[in-house]
Amino acid sequence: MARFKRILLKLSGESLMGEKGYGIDENRLAQYAEQIKEIHDMGVEIGIVIGGGNIFRGLSGAKKGFDRVKGDQMGMLATVINSLALQSALKAAGVASEVLTAIRMEPIGEFYSKDRAIKAINEGKVAIFSAGTGCPYFTTDTGSSLRGVEIEADVMLKGTRVDGIYTADPEKDPTATKFDEITYDEIINRNLKVMDLSATEMCRANNLPIYVFNMDKYGNLKKLMEGENIGTYVHP
């Protein structure tokens, strides 16, 4: 029996680069699809949001002279590319999925609505939510929180390159220590860079718990769903 019935899985676009440094590493993509298949076979209902940082990040573009709104729109399109790649990998793994976009762009994907998303999930498909919120100035973390609340997920699983939340960035500070669990308020008060503030606030306001874990370590997603205490649990 899986720990959670319905989840919102947030995947890092940057992690999709794998060893390439840019774009999509086919091996990493296939590993993600295989891990998602493992929990789908357990009967878990799955919604997914994937970032676009492996292709283009709007905020970084703005710092280099792009108009912020145009930059964010480019970032939204990057998430659509990643979503289509994930859909293709899931199909190869034998898992049905549906891409829903926050910006109308049929036939690339269906235009997002809660009813359409719930319908896809109830049909046993993995629902992949792309193009963020459809609005500039919001990150895919905020889009994940929003979609997680909308589809009434039991939890948001935030797959990252590190194995949880630390007192500081463990890739930069070797003295950083890991939290096994932490509250939303502690994250905000300590100014920990888990997600942007609006995403954390949305989860807190709607009592959507978060698990932050290392998705790049193969098998971790299934282990978490089977109840192993990996990652960091964020709760009220």
Predicted local distance difference test score (pLDDT) of residue 57? 78
Q: Is residue 35 part of a domain?
A: yes
Q: Is residue 159 part of a domain?
A: yes
pTM value is 0.95
Predicted local distance difference test score (pLDDT) of residue 208? 98
Q: Is residue 1 part of a domain?
A: no
Instruction: For residue 163, give the CATH number of its domain.
Output: 3.40.1160.10
Q: Taking every pair of C-alpha atoms in the chain, what is the biggest distance, in angstroms? A: 50
pLDDT tens per residue across span 28-69: 999 999 999 999 999 999 999 999 999 997 767 667 788 999
Q: How many domains does the chain have?
A: 1
Helix, coil or strand: residue 183 = strand
169-192 mean pLDDT: 93
100-123 mean pLDDT: 97
Q: Which runs of consecutive H residues, i.e. helices, occur in 93-219?
A: 114-122, 140-150, 184-190, 197-205
Q: Is residue 112 part of a domain?
A: yes
130-143 mean pLDDT: 96
Q: Is residue 54 part of a domain?
A: yes
Q: Is residue 94 part of a domain?
A: yes
Question: 78 is in which domain, residue-wise?
Answer: 6-235
